[in-house]
Chain A
Amino acid sequence: GNSVTQMEGPVTLSEEAFLTINCTYTATGYPSLFWYVQYPGEGLQLLLKATKADDKGSNKGFEATYRKETTSFHLEKGSVQVSDSAVYFCALSRNSGGSNYKLTFGKGTLLTVNP
């Protein structure tokens, strides 16, 4: 079945540091890949997505590239801010022929950015 593995947290960085959160996946066919973010006390928000190999998703300074050869979708940001402190989830969806795009999530990575 489908699965997502992301790096264990927590990750603690200083403001303006470079961020990488690793994510690898297992799936048949060609899934869509996502990063969701959950800020304290809030619901999950879609951060970015990519739907095919070599696509790069980007939003709010975050980027991730769909690498089919390494089955990876690592999240990066060049300079993190305190406001980026949140839990980040890597996820995939694959439509197996119907209309159901159910998501399979990783366990999440807690990021704390200190001033």
Chain B
Amino acid sequence: DTGVSQDPRHKITKRGQNVTFRCDPISEHNRLYWYRQTLGQGPEFLTYFQNEAQLEKSRLLSDRFSAERPKGSFSTLEIQRTEQGDSAMYLCASSYPGQGQDEQYFGPGTRLTVT
């Protein structure tokens, strides 16, 4: 068990550029979550996958955001035409079915800075 990994750890981009983040969950975890955390705030839910199906999206996830989880393994989060307000830490978490299914394991996050 190597834990949840995220790549890159840091991303600096110019306003208007597209960025893509990757999350690799713990191997047997079929549920995957994305959250966004801004300075001084707790993480806020963005979207949820069960296997490859995206089952819920937050209203925070504007049309510029898209997430995928092909084959139910890793997931990507893409932000198109980035804005300065997108600067935040993007967190990925995963959980497994069965007992303890409400326990989420978090990755280290990708810190996005939009200049």
Contact = CB atoms under 8 A, between A and B. Distances in A.
Interface in B17-59: 31, 33, 35, 40-45, 48, 50, 55-56
Given A99-B55, A100-B56, A102-B56, A46 B42 contact: no
Contacts of B50: 99-100
Contact of B108 (A36, A42, A103, A104): A42
Given A49-B103, A101-B95, A106 B42 contact: yes
B91 interface: yes
B42 to A, nearest CB: 3
- Interface residue tally on B, bucketed by range: 20 to 34
Tell which of B50, B104, B105 has the most Cβ of chain A within 10 Å.
Answer: B104
A43 interface: yes
Given A32-B102, A43-B106, A44-B106, A105 B56 contact: no
Interface of A: 4, 32, 36, 42-46, 49, 51, 89, 91, 93, 95, 98-108
Interface of B: 4, 31, 33, 35, 40-45, 48, 50, 55-56, 91, 93, 95, 97, 101-109
